[in-house]
Amino acid sequence: MSNISRIIERAAREIQADTVINLGIGLPAKVVEFLPKELNILIHCENGVLGAAEQPKPEDIDPFVIDSAGNYISTCLGSSYFDSAVSFAMIRRAKLDLTMIGAFEVDQSGNLANWKIPGRFSPGIGGAMELAQKTPRIVVLMTHCDKKGQPKILKQCRLPLTAKHCVSRIITDKAVMDVTPLGLVLKEKAKDISLEQLIHFTEADLIIPEQIGEL
């Protein structure tokens, strides 16, 4: 299993039946492909869809049915469509149970930076700001290090923040960590790296319990 598939497969196990969820652009959007067909959930898209499903086959594509990233999607039985004002009202009233979101950086206080790298073009902060502030549970999906091998899980974020103290859980290709009032707690570790290696790849301080699950 590739590192990316490991993240997505593990993230899919976070989703419980009878919930309303939002799957952000990038890695989170791929989670839908790993969900059991019989799982009763509603996937919300900021552009105005409730009940989104996996990408359809080419012959079944409806060019007017897309997610917030512009990807073609299908819909499940009981789905609905509405304008963006209604969609964001749902977010702001905390009607979503879970949001999965990508990140450039996360720190040990649960701060999230996922929209802007200085010097590079950014289309704007988008719906991430609303989702991060108003969803009760935020799960971040990200690679543990950047392309240069530098840690992305930090003591304190350096990039412009999307929202403060919003992250509940971080899932990477190397570990699963929970943000708690005491700090960042290691819950699971990939079996192909040692604890010492994981600490080396993580700038943030890790609280390491006696029992750690296997990612």
3-state secondary structure of 140: strand
Catalytic (active-site) positions: 46
The amino acid present at 25, given as its one-letter code, is I
CA distance 135 to 163: 12
CA distance 24 to 15: 14
> Where in the chain are the domains?
3-214
pLDDT in tens, the chain (215 residues): 688 999 999 999 999 999 999 999 999 999 999 999 899 999 999 999 999 999 999 999 999 999 988 899 999 999 999 999 999 999 999 999 999 999 999 999 999 999 998 888 887 888 899 999 999 999 999 999 999 999 999 999 999 999 999 999 999 999 999 999 999 999 999 999 999 999 999 999 999 999 999 99
Buried b (16+ CB within 10 A) or exposed e, 107-118: bbbbbbbbbbee
Tokens found for residue 145: 């290090």
Q: Give the model's pLDDT for residue 126.
A: 83
Name which of 121, 94, 116 is nearest 103 in CA terms.
Answer: 116
CA distance 35 to 55: 13
Q: Which CATH architecture has domain 3-214?
A: 3-Layer(aba) Sandwich (3.40)
